[in-house]
Every structure is written in structure tokens, then in C-alpha cells.
Structure 1
Amino acid sequence: MQLFPKVATTVLLAVMCIPALAQKIKLVDGDLSPIRDQKKINMEFTYDHLSVGKDNESDYVRKKTDEYNKKEAGKGDTWAKAWKDDRPTRFEPKFDSLFNENGDISVGDFPDAKYTMIFHTTFMEPGFNVGIARKNAYIDAEVQIVETGNKSKVVAKISIDNAPGRMMGFDFDTGMRIMEAYAVSGKKLAKFMGK
């Protein structure tokens, strides 16, 4: 009987530590000092050559659409539309919101800003939650900070690996789990850039 509380405590502590260790943000090239005195940065999101799970994005979307349409006519088409629509309506606003709450620089639609941040998502793991089993979502991304007037002039490159979309409870919706990965990315990146 005494063994159970010790094992349960050990397992709980191990699970709590995983998210803290998982995400990595690294300055790959350049220098963040030029942007530190800026009040706002223009924001762009790109998804070119995106991998999803073990597939490229187009294969993943085709497979999922077919799978859902076989279960219920039209369900796959609705899912495929939501897959794309979630980017501008959920993921990107959530990133912007958490970045702005956790840093001294505001990001958003600021075409007159001196610098632009390009957040390029390279990988998504959508995860799943089927009640009795679950897998957390996560994303990988490459971030470039460029001069707005000359985007070939790169000020800094940052990599984001394993940004977790981990939620407690009823995150049965794929978009909800992935949105949390963007929230974590925004929050952690703002703090990283503020160092």
C-alpha cells in the first residue's frame, strides 16, 4: 500500500516535467538587439511544405477527408474546410494574443512597422483525444525577423521545436489542441525575445 503513493507521485512529477523540457527555442542566426527598441512588429504566417504527422499536408488532408466522408457524407469536407480556416481564425490570433500579453513588443497587422516576423510552421502533430487514450499536439516552426521594406534582409532566425498543444480535459477538437501549440509558441517566443 505504501508503494502506490510513491509510484503515483513519481509518475505525476515526471508527467508535469515533460512539457517544460519539451519545447526548445533557439536563436539560429543573427541578432535580436535591433528589434528590442521597437514597439510593434508586422506579423506573417506561412505554411508552405508543411508536414503533418507522417505525411505531407495534402496527403494528410486527403486521407482524413476520405476517412470522415466514409463515416458520414460531407463530414470530411467540413473537416477539411475547418483545417484551413483554423489558421486565420484560431491559430494566428491566439499566437498574437499570447505574444502581446507576454512581451514588450506588439505583433499584428502592422505593415508600416520597420520589421516583420515571419512564422513558418514546418511540422504539425495534431494529436488525438478519444476519451480513453490521447496524444498531445505539437508544432515546429522557423521564425525569421526581416526588414519590412526589404524582406531579403534577415535580422534574425529562430527555431521552435516541439511547442506543445497540451490541454487538460475535453480537447477532442483537433483545432483546439493545435491552437494551444500556437498559444505556447507566442508566449514563450515573446519571453525569449525579451531576454
Structure 2
Amino acid sequence: MKNIVICLTLLLLTCGAVQAQKIVIKSGSLDPIKSEKFFNITYDYNDVSVGKFENEEDYINKKVSEYNTKEPGRGDRWKEAWIGDRKARYQVSFEELLNKTLESNEIYVGEENTDSKYTMVLKTTFIEPGFNIYITKKPAMIHVIFKVVETANPSNVICEIISKNNPGRTFGDSDLDTGIRIKEAYAKCGKELGKFMIKKIYK
């Protein structure tokens, strides 16, 4: 009984630490894209802060040094995976859930749609990697800026949306890998942005 109480307490503390997801339009409107069905998409990871680190590079350097000290080469492999997960995991998950949410309205978003009138730009501004140490866990979280720009003139921003506190978590111990937690945050972000777009465009 005592162990059950402890586990429930830890679960409540973990859940309570998660801030509510928030999506708001900072500028512009989605109305101009109402008649469009295909969109290009690009990703921007410049100027990202990670956890308590203002600069992602400082976070990477610290992790590489720590891991290489424990096992030569481990830090370098970790860095390669950290960067590689962007295209291999995060972007795939984001697009998959975004398109799944938009498919009922016959809208498709993909990097191959370079001739589309509009391009969506997903800029990541913050990543909380989270952790899972069996007895307790903290979900990953991302903040992003989502823009719709004119493909032929990217400086023409049609709409800018701020999406904060996108959580990344799974049940059980399937998210021991940092990349899996963050991938789930991008999936959640894609799903909620898709729902937000439908609500605003087809209101």
C-alpha cells in the first residue's frame, strides 16, 4: 500500500509540472490559405534553447564531454543522434500527425511541395528533453513558431502562430530514449496545430 501511495504521489507531481499547451496567432490570418490544398514545409533549428541552456550548442558540448568521459566516442555518437533525430524522427512525426489531422479537409503538407503557393515554416525555439529514471519521469516539451509564408517571397508572412508547451511522453518505459520523448512532442505539436488550423480556416 505504501508503495502505491508513493507511486501515485510521484505521478501527480509529474503531471502537475506539465504546463497547459497554448496556441495563439501572433500576427496575420489563415484566411488567405483557405482555398489551398498543398503546402511546402521547411524547418528551422537556429537559436534553440535546451532545458536550462540558453544556447543549444552549450547543451550539446556539455553532453558530449560527459559521455566521452564515461566512454570514449559515446558523446560523439550521442551528438550525431541528437542532430540526426531532427529529420529522422521529429520532422517525420510532425508531418505525419499534421497531415493525419488535415486529411479530412484534403490538405497535404510535405517538403516535396516546393511549387506550392505557400510554405509552412516550423521554427523550434525551445526543447525540454525531459527524463525517465523509472521511479519518476518528466515529459519532453517544445515551443515553436509556426509561419505560413509566400513560397516565392518568404519575407511575406501570411500568418505567424506561437505554439508552446507541446508535451512529449509515452506510457510505461518506452520513452527511456530522449529522442522518443521529443519525437512525441513534435507529434503532439503537429496534431494540435492541425486542429487549430481547421478551426480557424473553416470556422
What is the TM-score when the length of structure 2 is the normalising length? 0.86
Does 1:186 pair with 2:190? yes
- Runs of 4 or more, structure 1, over 4 Å off, are none
Deviation at 1:18, TM superposition (A): 7.7
Give yes or no for the alignment of 1:177 onto 2:185.
no
Instruction: Give the structure 1 partner of residue 72 of structure 2.
Output: 73
Structure 1's 129 and 60: CA in aligned 2 closer, same or farther, altered over 3 A? same
The total of aligned residue pairs comes to 187
Match of 1:90 in 2: 89
Residues 155/102 of structure 1: CA separation in 2 closer, same or farther (3 Å cut): same
- The reply to whether residue 116 of structure 1 matches residue 119 of structure 2 is yes
Rounded to whole Å, the distance in 2 between the matches of 1:184 and 1:38 is 24
Task: Tell me by how many angstroms 1:133 deviates.
Answer: 2.2
Q: Take 1:24 and 1:18, find their aligned partners in 2: how far apart are those partners?
A: 15
Partner residue, 2:170: 167
Corresponding residue for residue 106 of structure 1: 108
Q: Which of 49, 62, 73 matches 2:47?
A: 49
Contact 1:36 1:194 in 2 (8 A): no
Unaligned runs of 5+ in 1: none
Percent identity (aligned) = 48
Amino acid in structure 2 at the alignment position of 1:84:
I
TM-score (normalised: structure 1):
0.90
Structure 2: gaps spanning 5 or more residues: none
Q: Which amino acid aligns with 1:184?
A: K
The residue type equivalent to 1:194 in the other structure is: I
Cα deviation for residue 175 of structure 1 reads 0.5
For residues 136-155 of structure 1, the aligned pairs below 5 Å read 136-155=139-158
Q: 1:116 deviation in Å? A: 0.4
- SS of the equivalent of 2:157 reads strand
Q: Is the 1:47–1:121 Cα contact (8 Å) retained in structure 2?
A: yes
Greater mean alpha carbon deviation, residues 28-37 or residues 149-158:
28-37
**Alpha-carbon deviations, 1:129-188, whole Å to 9, x = none?**
111221110000111100000001110000010000021112110100000000000000
What is the Cα deviation at residue 101 of structure 1?
A: 0.3
- 2:38 maps to a residue whose letter is K
How much is the aligned-residue C-alpha RMSD, in angstroms? 2.2
Which secondary structure does the structure 1 equivalent of 2:36 belong to? Answer: coil
After TM superposition, give the deviation of residue 34 of structure 1 in Å. Answer: 1.2
